[in-house]
Amino acid sequence: MNPSHAFQHFVSTLYLNTLSQHFISTLYLKAGGGAGHQMIIQDYTNIIDNFLRELGGDVNLRLNCQLPLQLEALDLASAGRDVFDREQWMTPFTLKCWQAMRLAAHQDEIELQLVSAFRSVEYQCGLIRKKVAAGQQLDDIFKISAIPGFSEHHTGRALDLSTPGPEPLSEAFDQTAAFDWLNTHAHRFEFSMSYPRNNTTGINYEPWHWACRAQ
């Protein structure tokens, strides 16, 4: 099932008051079967802050976050199975760009593999809960996984990529011909690396994370 048609799929429209750093969210609950959207007004910052408190953090984690808030994609298309045989989803335009880029790489004898694409806010919360349960500290977690509501994966335009050889989601990816190919050619397909070395977002270097910059 398309995640955008799931039983409880929330799509956030956020309004930023830059003086107070206070975000108000208009959340849409999309019912299945084309029933339309039921508008639910909520304070998005409270959602994030309550989640952080649940894990033993505080609002400063959000206030000090260097990443922009990201909207959950509403319109998603299936991209097929990933390297772990999970179905992945992305926006239709991102899918078109991804398919063209993968084909061009294949023609250059480069194999690009999809590891991850769209993630809902709920899914991101689940990932972080698992890491906390495994004993990791929030400050360390948020150098690798964005705070829910701030992940580029919510947009359906961010892809985690790999190639045969290195372990997926490892820095060893930057030693591959696939990484070199992406650095040279990805811009032709509207993709760029989101978290290069020495970036200022607070997220560690991720040579595998590429996002489609066009809408």
pLDDT top residue among 23 and 141: 141
Question: Selecting from 1.10.3720.10, 3.30.565.10, 3.30.1380.10, 3.10.20.740, what CATH number does the domain 73-118+156-215 have?
Answer: 3.30.1380.10
Whether the pLDDT of residue 44 is over 90: the answer is: no
Phi, psi of 156 (to 5 degrees): 75, 10
Whether the pLDDT of residue 59 is over 50: the answer is: yes
| 15-26 confidence digits (pLDDT tens) | 332 222 333 333
Question: What is the DSSP pairing of strand 113-116 with strand 87-90?
Answer: unpaired
Q: Could you tell me the pTM of the whole model?
A: 0.79
Q: What is the pLDDT of residue 58?
A: 87
β-sheet bridge partners, residue 78: 89
Whether the pLDDT of residue 29 is over 50: the answer is: no
Q: What is the pLDDT of residue 3?
A: 57
Of 47, 52, 162, 152, the residue nearest 105 (C-alpha): 162
Q: What is the pLDDT of residue 126?
A: 92
